[in-house]
Amino acid sequence: FIKSTATKALAQALASNNTIQLLDLQENAIGNEGVIFLADALKINTSLRTLCLQGVSAGTCGAVALAEALMTNQTLQTLDLRGNAVGMKGAKALANAMKCNRSLKSLNLQENSLGMDGAIFIATALKGNHQLTYINLQGNGIGESGAKVISDAIRA
């Protein structure tokens, strides 16, 4: 397993790298600290297209850091955050980033405890974002009402 200390070194290398296009760290124990290191690198990196962080315990803090990176990063196209306990606050931060980010095409938020409030934030962002072509919200407890909000946003 890669842990947060190793992720710091990896992030430092990623900040100056201009060839790596895919980084898959799924199911590693990097935690929110490691995700924050990666998010800082994403603010500088211009080559990474795909970042897989499924099951790395990013949490709300990691999601907020990634959202901040997405405000400036215009090259990342795929972000997989499945199973990271992002929660409603993380969803809100990511939704705000999606309002100005125009490179992200695929976002996996499956199993992140977003709830109805998280669904509303995501739906609001989807209304103004026509670049995102894939979003996975499975297993977030959004219910029928949340599904309707998302559905209405997609139609808009």
Q: What is the per-residue pLDDT across 54-66, written as a single tens digit (0 to 9) for each?
A: 999 999 999 999 9
Those residues with Cβ within 8 angstroms of residue 11's Cβ, 6 or more apart along the chain or in another chain: 34, 37, 38, 40, 41
Is residue 90 within 8 A of residue 63, CB to CB? The reply is yes
Weakest-pLDDT range from 42-46, 100-104, 124-128? 124-128
Task: Flag whether pLDDT at 1 surpasses 90.
Answer: no
With bands split at pLDDT 50, 70 and 90, how would you rate the model's confidence at 156? confident
Q: What order do you get walking across the sheet with 106-108 strand by strand?
A: 22-24, 50-52, 78-80, 106-108, 134-136
Q: State in words which class domain 4-155 has.
A: alpha beta
Going from N- to C-terminal start, the domains of the chain cover 4-155
Looking at residue 14, what is its pLDDT? Answer: 96
Residue 120: CB atoms within 10 Å: 21
